[in-house]
Amino acid sequence: MNEVSRDVLRVAVLADEHQRGDLRAILEDEGMEIVLDGGLELPLPDTLRGAEVLLVDMDDARVDRQQVRGVLQQSPVPVLLNHGGVGEGEIWTRRLIGKLRTLARRAFPAARIDSARGGVRPELRVVDDAVTEPEDAPWLVVLGGSIGGPRALARFLAALPREVPVTLLVAQHISEQFQDLLVEQLDRCSDWPVALLGDEQALEAGQVWIVPADRAVEVDASLRVRLSDGGWDSLHRPDIDSLLERVCPELGRRCGVILFSGLGEDGSRGCSRVASHGGFVWTQSAESCAIPNLPDAVARVCSVEFSGSPEQLAEQLALRCQVASARIN
């Protein structure tokens, strides 16, 4: 038997029987290897460990969300939730393949803005010291929110061009039992692949990772993340302040934070730490928030470089990266 090339992406598929054949055919036509092809059952089979990414089809109305939560918690590889069944046409296929490859860390987005997605609006400003990072430095942007946050995050991702070279880490106050719904909602709204963080993995540009509600997170300077055995030392799940305080000393000016709609002040202390280490702090504008308490709390404790609607925040982030690319080139 010939050894499989290292360039072949190994995918596990969990789907209802009537969907498996179509998904297998699509993936194999793209040169991928199917290492597991079965139904959505727990515990997950040992053969899943041979995969690089897991594709779970959510089209079957009988799918048990408790099972989906179990898959997200137990899977040793990134999980992509597919909604709406098998789509038609080249655009749908390209989007599915792109998300799978990105989650498996096989895609490396270029530092450019796709003019087909509308570019950026010229009136948005660039702060004077926006980009002074090393040319090869990875960027990590933490997106935090509470009440009203999921809707704002969806709008932000829908407006953010796919090629922006950043890793996005979402710290949204939400119960553990609803995190799979958050993954589903955010993954649907854009071409950005969205997944729940695993026990230990490297973060790369072009991905959106959801911070678990029940386990604290450690991130080092190379953007390798590890989940701790314990939870957050706070009533907030996840704790935005704690996450930012762990991230910003490692990344310094390569770290940014955008806080969206929410109640309370979780994240304001962490934003001060980010700013003190040279990172940027942005917030959603009060008039576009469901509840502006969280952005207002940030403005009271530190300087906010930019504030705008979710769409303006996305455009400003794209513009910042576009300027960085122009300076590098």
Asked whether residue 58 carries a pLDDT value surpassing 70, the answer given is: yes
Half-sphere exposure of 271 (CA within 13 A, CB side): 27
| 23 vs 152: CA distance, rounded Å | 32
User: Is residue 105 exposed (0-12), middle (13-18) or buried (19+ Cβ within 10 Å)?
Assistant: middle
Strand, coil or helix: 311:
helix
Please name every residue paired with 284 in a beta bridge, in sequence order, or none if there are none: 308
Which range has the worst mean pLDDT, 13-22, 110-119, 259-268?
110-119
To 10 degrees, what angle do helices 268-276 and 293-301 make? Answer: 40
Asked whether residue 217 carries a pLDDT value surpassing 60, the answer given is: yes
Is 111 among the domain residues?
A: no
Please name every residue paired with 35 in a beta bridge, in sequence order, or none if there are none: none
Strand, coil or helix: 95:
helix
The per-residue pLDDT for 6 is: 52
Asked whether residue 223 carries a pLDDT value surpassing 50, the answer given is: yes
CATH number, position 89: 3.40.50.1370
Which range has the worst mean pLDDT, 44-53, 109-118, 169-178, 254-263?
109-118
Q: Which domain holds residue 49?
A: 10-103
Residue 181 sits in the same domain as residue 302: yes
The domain boundary residue, chosen from 78, 103, 128: 103
| 274 vs 252: CA distance, rounded Å | 7
| 40 vs 68: CA distance, rounded Å | 8
* Domains: count for the chain: 2
- State what percent of residues in the chain have pLDDT above 70: 82
Residues 321-328, mean pLDDT to the nearest whole number: 53
Residue 96 sits in the same domain as residue 137: no
The per-residue pLDDT for 284 is: 96
| 329 vs 326: CA distance, rounded Å | 5
Residue 129 sits in the same domain as residue 25: no
Query: What digits encode the pLDDT tens for the residues 93-142?
Result: 887 888 788 777 654 333 322 333 333 333 333 333 333 344 455 688 99
Among 77-81, 111-115, 161-165, 241-245, name the most confident range.
Answer: 241-245
Query: What order do you get walking across the sheet with 10-14 strand by strand?
Result: 33-38, 10-14, 53-57, 79-82
Strand, coil or helix: 67:
helix
| 226 vs 243: CA distance, rounded Å | 12
